[in-house]
Amino acid sequence: MKKFFLLFLLFSSVMFSYVVVTINPYYLLVSELLKGVDDVKLLLPPNVNPHVYSLKVSDVKLLAKANLIIANGNLEPNLEKYDNVLYVKNYIPEVFIEHKNPHFWLDPYFVKFYIIPSLSEEFYKMYKDNKIMENEKKLLEKIDIFIKDAWEVLKTDGLVLVNHPSFYYFFKEFGIKIKWLEEGHNVSIGLKKIINTIKGRKLIALFTEKQQPESKIKVISKELKKKYYVLDPLGIDAKNFVDLYYKNLEIIRKALENE
């Protein structure tokens, strides 16, 4: 009877295991990689700012029962006390990390060459399930198509001004210069100084983000008489990972075309 009970506990722990992912972009990505393999749960709602979020009691309970935790690193609440965390930041070569900027998921090349292959390898070691490799292949194909589509839309040069540098790597990959307002990430520029600087440059768009305050960008928008647009780095309404990219690309397209 005791032996049967121990087997039941072991079976139950496997049966009810799940993976917790800290932020929505990786939740979308990991859900696709582990489709048909394991359950994936999201820790932080996509409408909150992960930089300032504090864990609730319900969050701690969710983490405590997780088989594995996937985190970006240098972005969300401190998870040092958990020994089952995979940090995406560890998959990005240090030579490519600039201004201590942790928004790696918004660079499709980082995702294609480092994040997806690394996570897939970790998952395969853990689950030994060929569906992971099949899911990886499908997702990489979608990323490739998006990259081609993005190059078609972003055939421009000039400067974009953003409230927060989530899209720093994204714009840089596609040859667009970027300045930002918010303190942190190693660089901060005062409003007066940025307005004077921008007036002498080819400013092609102004952006803020759904998870960030709009007050500063509103002042600049009014001063420069230029409309600003709202990006969403966490994909509040995204149906899947690549949909997060396409929704933001459409907003960028409208900004570049002054729609």
Residues 109-164 pLDDT 10s: 999 999 999 999 999 999 999 999 999 999 999 999 999 999 999 999 899 999 99
Residues with Cβ within 8 Å of 99's Cβ and at least 6 positions away in sequence, in order, are 165, 168, 185, 186, 187
Residue 80 has pLDDT above 90, yes or no: yes
Residue 183: per-residue pLDDT: 56
**Mean pLDDT along residues 246-255:** 99
Q: What is the DSSP letter of 205?
A: E
> Sheet holding 228-231: strands in order across?
177-180, 159-162, 203-209, 228-231
Domain topology for 156-256: Rossmann fold (3.40.50)
Domain boundaries, the chain: 16-150, 156-256
Query: Same CATH fold, 156-256 and 16-150?
Result: yes
Q: pLDDT (tens digit, 9 = 90+) per residue, 176-197?
A: 999 998 655 544 567 777 888 7
Architecture of domain 16-150: 3-Layer(aba) Sandwich (3.40)
Q: Please tell me whether the overall predicted TM-score, pTM, comes out greater than 0.75 for this model.
A: yes
Residue 12 has pLDDT above 50, yes or no: no
Residue 216 has pLDDT above 60, yes or no: yes
